Amino acid sequence: MSAVGQQEEQLSQSDLSPSSNSSSSFEIIDMDAASLYEPVSPHWFYCKIIDSKETWIPFNAEDSQRLEEAYGSDKDCNGRVVPTDGGRYDVHLGERMRYAVYWDELASEVRRCTWFYKGDKDNKYVPYSESFSQQLEETYMLAVTLDEWKKKLESPNREIIILHNPKLMVHYHLVARSDEWGSIPAEQGRPRTVKRGVENISVDIPCGEPLQIDHLVFVVHGIGPACDLRFRSIVQCVNDFRGVSLNLLQTHFKKAQEQQQIGRVEFLPVNWHSPLHSTGVDVDLRRITLPSINRLRHFTNDTILDVFFYNSPTYCQTIVDTVASEMNRIYKLFLQRNPNFKGGVSIAGHSLGSLILFDLLTNQKDPLEENDSEKVIPRVVLDQGDTLDLEEDLKKLQLSEFCNLFKKEKIDKAALALCTERDLQEMGIPLGPRKKILNYFKNGENIQSVNKQNQQSALGGNLPVLSEKSKDCNSTGGAGNEEYLDISIGQASVKYPRLIYKPDIFFAFGSPIGMFLTVRGLKRIDPNYKLPTCKGFFNIYHPK
């Protein structure tokens, strides 16, 4: 008897349990199908607007795996937050949104991607929605299991996808075609390629970053909202810094990094342009801006005028407050998110940003050597022997009504020279009289300078010094009798905030510090001068 005949005889003798035999045969078919079908491996992407166009960018392999593990542990994902991109972004899984941690940025959509189609213009693959990708995967599984292809699906926007075979799947883009009867949907143009799984599309998945952070660097931008000739933002430029740093680790310290002997350097941007121009000054500028050569004038308002803002005591205070408060805020937030961080902190400034940091660091106080009382650094100091009556000067300014207020606060001319605009404001003196008083009592015609000893006491003796040759240099030995006079290098009435940490190094890129110090009256900095709370200073510039 043949084998086929034996199988038929066995089946005829099993009438008592047909259901079990039937079940067994179906199980054999399922096992065969399972050997042909393999579930797709998902990868997580986020959507970013680049050149006014949506672009889907893959997370690095480590971040995608962490997101997938969080998704697998809780499909609802309500309230689940996963840090990504070295901790600079948080992904809220329930919302499928990605948020920047340290700076303001529009949130990005996040998607668990398994199926893709090729775009129209840039030929980059675009992921389908998660719900439709699931429909595609279920249809694909049936086609593989039953070996029945040419499956047709309709997408949510009524476009047609056809699965011809595992290697040929297409997406027909439907457009409206009008005739005398109205618009008719029709297939048009070459079909788009459809791919299953990220491994089948041409996309560069970035490498992950070491978890260990050895050093933190704050980067402060210069004039304008754009930071380079490509008109990129401070965030994009700082991303380049970080990328170059990671590449150096891979090329020069790969073995040490693999053995976890060294970590990485984290670069974080500090933005002061947006807070400054959100004060309402742009509205005032537009009101006085001439309509001719519109683009040039608005470009000037957004960029070059930042230099004038920094020379204005009012807006300079806004700028230094913003820079200091942002660096303090980001530092505290960074420590909260990285409690094991034991590395140092450095700061870098480009263009006007380097000048802002220089003034800020010059006016810091070492908490180990100074007490916490605020010290005001005036531009000029009154001679202690000056006995002119304060009331007479207020009468000249037609501000006699404030004489009793100054008497009540026991303020004479010497004390007034140490007052800032904020001090006068706290006394209740209106803006107009404040400006008149500060201008009158701090100009060169009305004030005599003090001797060197009094000046060092008033200024703290911890600022760059102006080198001047003695008037009697020819009779006293020429240049050898050189004396240094301490002067203030900051703005006239600016109070510099305190940083909550001591920077290790200050890097200046393309810095105008030398020019501004010269304009302020400095001719030479004492070679022995050091920033009060910063160990080192590197002025980096192109030699040509």
Active site residues: 351
Rounded to whole angstroms, how far apart are CA atoms 492 and 531?
A: 20
> Which class for 300: exposed (0-12), middle (13-18), buried (19 or more C-beta within 10 A)?
middle
Of 236, 225, 331, 234, the C-alpha closest to 276 is: 225
User: For residues 482 and 467, is the Cβ–Cβ distance under 8 A?
Assistant: yes
Phi, psi of 248, rounded to the nearest 5 degrees: -65, -35
Rounded to whole angstroms, how far apart are CA atoms 243 and 534?
A: 26
Chain centroid offset of residue 121 CA: 30
Chain centroid offset of residue 6 CA: 77
The owner of tokens 């905030």 is: 497
The owner of tokens 């941007």 is: 269
Rounded to whole angstroms, how far apart are CA atoms 416 and 428?
A: 15
Cβ density class 232-267: b for 16+ within 10 Å, e for less: ebbbebbbebbeebbeebeeeeeeebeeeeebbbbb
Cβ density class 81-120: b for 16+ within 10 Å, e for less: ebebbbbbbbbbbebbebeebbbeeeebebbbbbbbbbee
For the CA atoms of the chain, what is the radius of gyration? 35
Structure tokens at 338: 């990285």
Number of H helices, E strands in the chain: 20, 21
Helix (H, G, I), strand (E, B) or coil at 428: coil
Rounded to whole angstroms, how far apart are CA atoms 408 and 427?
A: 10
> Which class for 377: exposed (0-12), middle (13-18), buried (19 or more C-beta within 10 A)?
buried
User: For residues 402 and 394, is the Cβ–Cβ distance under 8 A?
Assistant: yes
DSSP state of 510: S
**Looking at beta carbons, which pairs linking 416-421 to residues 24 or more positions away fall under 8 Å?**
416/390, 416/441, 417/378, 417/380, 417/381, 417/382, 417/441, 417/442, 417/447, 418/376, 418/378, 418/381, 418/458, 419/376, 420/376, 420/493, 420/494, 420/495, 421/313, 421/493
CA distances to 163, 222, 401 from 395, rounded to whole Å, are 92, 44, 9
